[in-house]
Structure 1
Amino acid sequence: MTALQNLKYGQWFRGADVDGDGFITQRDIRMMSERYIAARGTAPDSTTARLLTERMDEFWTNVIAPMDQDGDGKVDLREMTEGFARALTDPTLYPKQIEPVTNCFFDLVDLNGNGEIDQAEFQQMFDSIAGVPGEDCAAVFAALDQDGSGVLDRSEFHQAISEFFYGDDPDAPANHLFGRIAV
């Protein structure tokens, strides 16, 4: 794993450690779901909320929980970084490892359900959920909007998530998807 990936994964870890205790637990993943659902104003018993919760539970079970090297039910930064280094070695595995959660997250961020994420939707979600400052959201959004259409389609969103988790280009705009990192 490269130094850039360590920075990105550390940034992601800080956002995923919702309660700030230095560990990611299944409860943190559930709290992420709850925050996404609340920011969207979706009823907790809606189909969208249930689907997101199911996908995030799958993310915990299939991606995060296996990183728990000491079996204590929680994943610290070292375990997560080493786990990502082991698991995210092959971008061709994106459809199995990350795409289901990304699709669900895309649908949640797409507040008006038109199949695109505009800058306001992007900023609302990343500011309220991941604590990404508005000016950072605007800059990241503009850079991720590869075709300059003013919206992110599903393909652009997947490209950003894939670049964040698998990429090693220090100039890639997706490096800052979960908050600005010093590259």
Structure 2
Amino acid sequence: MTAIRDLKYRQWFKGADVDGDGVITRQDVRLMGERYVAARDTASGGETARRLTEGLDSFWTTVIAPMDQDGDGKVDLPEMTEGFRRALADPALYPQQVGPVADCYFDLVDLDGDDRIDQAEFGEIFGLAGNVSPEDCAAVFDALDLDGSGGLDRAEVHRALAEFFYGDDPDAPAAHLFGRIAG
């Protein structure tokens, strides 16, 4: 584990602590999903929103809740950092740990259904719902669009998320996926 992961996890924590009270709860995880659904102006009763809610509930149960070392139903930054260190130690587990939720977010962000996320869609979801600056969104998008196609396909998004959660390269574009980290 490197210090870069701690910085990335702290950045993710800031976005996941939706109510800003310094801890992540099941409610924060649900609110995170609702925030993305609302940003896309998608019906909360729709299939993608339902899959996202189920995926986030599973993410809470299998990844976040076990981090709660003192059993208070809340995960603070030290618990989350240590928990991510343990839970996200093996990139081979990405398909079970992060992949299903990532697919739901991809479907939610890909509003026009062309199976790719363009820069506007990326900026909207990470900017409005993820509290990432427009400049950071544009820079990260450009760096992640390795083939210069003007869009990120599902595989590119999965590579970026795998790099964010499991990678140790501070210069990787995905290191700044959830906002610029201070290195």
- Determine whether 1:88 maps to 2:79: no
2:122 corresponding residue in structure 1? 122
Matches within 5 A, 1:68-83: 68-83=68-83
The structural deviation recorded for 1:81 is 0.4
Separation in 2, partners of 1:63, 1:106: 20
The one-character-per-residue Cα deviations of 1:106-141 (angstroms, maximum 9, x if unpaired) are 111111111000000000000111110001000000
Q: Which residue of 2 aligns with 1:14?
A: 14
The answer for unaligned runs of 5 or more in structure 2 is none
How many residues were matched structurally?
183
Q: What amino acid is aligned across from residue 136 of structure 1 in structure 2?
A: D
- Inter-partner Cα distance in structure 2 for 1:100 and 1:110: 15
* Structure 2 counterpart of 1:61: 61
- TM-score w.r.t. length of structure 1: 0.98
What is the distance in 1 between the residues matched to 2:92 and 2:58? Answer: 19
Which residue in the other structure is 1:152 paired with? Answer: 152
Offset at 1:44?
A: 1.2
Q: After the TM superposition, which segments of 4 or more aligned residues of structure 1 sit over 3 Å from their partners?
A: none
The code of the aligned residue for 2:83 comes to G
Deviation at 1:172, TM superposition (A): 0.2
SS in 2 for 1:73: coil
Q: TM-score, normalised by structure 2?
A: 0.98
Residues 134-145 of structure 1: pairs in structure 2 closer than 5 A: 134-145=134-145
In structure 1, list runs of 5 or more residues that go unmatched. none
* Cα root mean square deviation, aligned: 0.7
Deviations 1:71-106 (A, max 9, x none): 100100000000011111111111111101111111
Amino acid aligned to 1:43: A
